[in-house]
Amino acid sequence: MLRLLIPFALLAAAIIAILGADRPLPRADFTFINRGDVTTLDFQQMSWQQDNRVARIIAEGLVAADVFSHDYTIVPAAAERWEVSPDLRTYTFHLRDAKWSNGAPVKPGDFLYAWMRGLLPDVGADYIGFIQHIKGGRAFTDWRSAALADFARKHAESPDPAAADDLWCETKRKFSELVSARATDDRTIVIELERPTPYFLDIVGFVSFFPLCESVVSRYESLDPASGRIKWNQDWTKPPNFITNGPFKVESWKFKRDLRLRRNPYYWNQSAIGVDTMSIPTVEDPVSSVMAFETGAVDWVSDVLAPFRTEMVAQKSDFYKEHKAEYDALNAQGLDPIEIDRRLPPDPRKNIHVFPAFGTYFWNFNCSRTLPDGRINPLADPRVRRALALAVDKHAIADGIRRVGEHVAPTLIPPHSISNYQSPKGLGFNPDEARRLLAEAGYPDGKGFITLDLLITKDGGHELIAQTLAKDWQRILGINTTISVQEVKVFRERLKNKNYMISRASWFGDYGDPTTFLETCRTDDGNNDRAYSSPKFDALLDRAANESDPAARFRILEEAERLLVEEDLPLLPIFYYVNMYLFDANKVTGISSHPRGIQLLYHVDMFNDGKGSNAPLALPPLKPGTHDEPSP
């Protein structure tokens, strides 16, 4: 039986009570914990995984990915078919006869409206670069930025509603004029790209390309007569106003409480939907999430973050050892790991599922020439950054602190995650070379080196990792450190403003190409929080973008990654993540084990073959202060 400290048990009981409180509706067919509360249902402003996960239940783009196939095959979604020109620059999508959740037809203009909105600097979309793959996309964004700056100069002191309306009308005309995305009839969209983009179909399935019901969303537009900027009242994302085109619609949304979804009767592919209702309660405490599962209050925990999760992984390993012959026979058949668990004997230990993830945990180095306080920044010297990287024993972190099967990361891109791509060797643990490089940079034995400050957030176990880095750097290089713990909001602001020295970080790939990781280090990329700027690196990315031969393109990108992880080191990779889920495979079907971690949860179905079990795991008592929580 799970033996936790009494305060944790009481907290879990309180959370479970909340799940049933103030809810006249019956229990949903499928209930899951989405790690964090949904922050927005505005597709163009989404960036967090929990938001994207819900978006894929309630909406869909032109295409989707087959999350159950090994190669992540792109399959039809809102578009029933498409053609690609021989030069890989023109895509023609043919929409199926689909409807919005209010029964209105989905039109090409609904896609174009959403993409125009995503390109506006007014919106500030994190993934604006995805849409800027369309020819003229960046030119449109630049035009709008310049037009807004000019408008503000003229009207900041004398707001003019009529002028703001004229600018908005002109903006819509400019989108049609500059951006090569157009409707050729009521069911066809033609897109021309700036250059051939091998992974374009992959990103077309991303949430930033999802359509919006223009006739509804446009009602919530308003113009600022002083700046000319357009704003949207977010009430359009709340029920009953929210109109979507996906398998489910939003029935109710109680912020910080729960989100409830119901089957969309107008969705074109009803046979793909496994359940009628879903509930997503907000349970922020990781221990309570496990308790909620074990009491049967939820069916799936999407990210197991409890501090005793290392013991859970160990118990799963013991279970496999006890059934080694059966496991080996099933594995030899090439079965999916979830299907293997489903066929093994009933046991609560098999409810924990651990899979490799398409994500890397690392630390940012601020590469600016000067620090925020005006001092010369020694981290601007790549020799210093390499020395720091070579002086870290990553195994002590992955195997000693994390202990959930995550592998040490010598590179940025997880190995074997992209077919035919081979990451470089990267740097290992080499104290002697680290000391040599630091001395060469002018700091023998750390003499004259400033105290480094490590910026972290208070949750996620980052402090233990920071302490390990600090010990290695002091012991091997003679460098002293301090650790600054900040709330998430302050942490993000400092990161974006480059107001730090070294910070914790992570990245999960958004599409199946090396550039999903590498582009974050391009000089002008919005996710380049390191102030890293290398003309050589940028030139390699440009060469790859213009290379038509797939093999030659990958060789160029491999050199770009080698430059990052063996020479310049703007970041320090530590380990590759795993996805850790909690669900009973004999009760739930439709969860994917793919490393990308994307779930199309409308495929979920519930069944019980008599072998399922939500019985608690036999874990040892939790000792405060001795366990590390995984990173967000």
Per-residue pLDDT tens digits for 377-413 = 999 999 999 999 999 999 999 999 999 999 999 999 9
Rounded to the nearest 10°, the torsion over CA 137, 140, 141, 147 is: 180
Would you place residue 620 in the very low, low, confident or very high pLDDT band (cuts 50, 70, 90)?
very low
Give the domain CATH number at 85: 3.90.76.10
Contact 208, 46 (CB under 8 A): yes
Mean pLDDT of 466-490: 95
Would you place residue 23 in the very low, low, confident or very high pLDDT band (cuts 50, 70, 90)?
low
283 within some domain: yes
Q: How far is CA 444 from CA 23, 54, 449, in A?
A: 66, 53, 9
Give the domain CATH number at 479: 3.10.105.10
Residues 6+ apart with CB under 8 A from 146: none
pLDDT tens string 226-243: 999 999 999 999 999 999
Question: Looking at the predicted structure, is the pLDDT value of residue 628 above 60?
Answer: no
The residue with tokens 């993409």 is 115
475 within some domain: yes
- Averaged pLDDT score across all residues of the chain: 91
pLDDT tens string 253-290: 998 889 999 999 999 999 999 999 999 999 988 899 99
The residue with tokens 């859970």 is 312
- What pLDDT was estimated at residue 30? 97
Are residues 183 and 265 both part of a single domain?
Answer: no
pLDDT tens string 525-541: 878 999 999 999 999 99
**Ramachandran angles phi, psi of 26, nearest 5°:** -70, 165
Mean pLDDT of 99-124: 97
Distance between the two ends of the chain, CA-based, in angstroms?
28
Last residue of a domain, one of 553, 577, 601: 577
Are residues 285 and 432 both part of a single domain?
Answer: no
Contact 440, 446 (CB under 8 A): no
Last residue of a domain, one of 561, 577, 593: 577
Nearest in space to 249 (alpha carbons), one of 222, 216, 218, 298: 216
Q: How far apart are CA 570 and CA 564, in angstroms?
A: 7
Give the domain CATH number at 251: 3.40.190.10
Mean pLDDT of 347-358: 94
Share of the chain above pLDDT 90, in %: 81
Mean pLDDT of 430-450: 98
- What domain count does the chain have? 3
Are residues 424 and 525 both part of a single domain?
Answer: yes
Domain, as residue range, for 279: 6-36+247-294
49 within some domain: no
Are residues 232 and 268 both part of a single domain?
Answer: no
- What pLDDT was estimated at residue 21? 52
54 within some domain: no
468 within some domain: yes
Are residues 19 and 95 both part of a single domain?
Answer: no
Beta bridge partners of 94: 81, 188
**Ramachandran angles phi, psi of 350, nearest 5°:** -85, 5
Q: How far apart are CA 604 and CA 494, in angstroms?
A: 40
Are residues 93 and 229 both part of a single domain?
Answer: yes
Question: Looking at the predicted structure, is the pLDDT value of residue 301 above 50?
Answer: yes
597 within some domain: no
The residue with tokens 């010369």 is 376
Looking only at the bridges linking them, the beta strands covering 277-281 and 30-33 are: parallel
Are residues 481 and 413 both part of a single domain?
Answer: yes
Question: Looking at the predicted structure, is the pLDDT value of residue 14 above 60?
Answer: no
Are residues 77 and 187 both part of a single domain?
Answer: yes
Are residues 366 and 486 both part of a single domain?
Answer: yes
Rounded to the nearest 10°, the torsion over CA 537, 542, 544, 548 is: -170
Last residue of a domain, one of 237, 255, 273: 237
46 within some domain: no
218 within some domain: yes
Are residues 168 and 27 both part of a single domain?
Answer: no
- What pLDDT was estimated at residue 596? 85
Share of the chain above pLDDT 70, in %: 92
Are residues 205 and 263 both part of a single domain?
Answer: no
Are residues 28 and 84 both part of a single domain?
Answer: no
Nearest in space to 263 (alpha carbons), one of 275, 245, 254, 279: 275
Report the sign of the C-alpha dihedral through residues 434, 440, 445, 446, in that order. negative
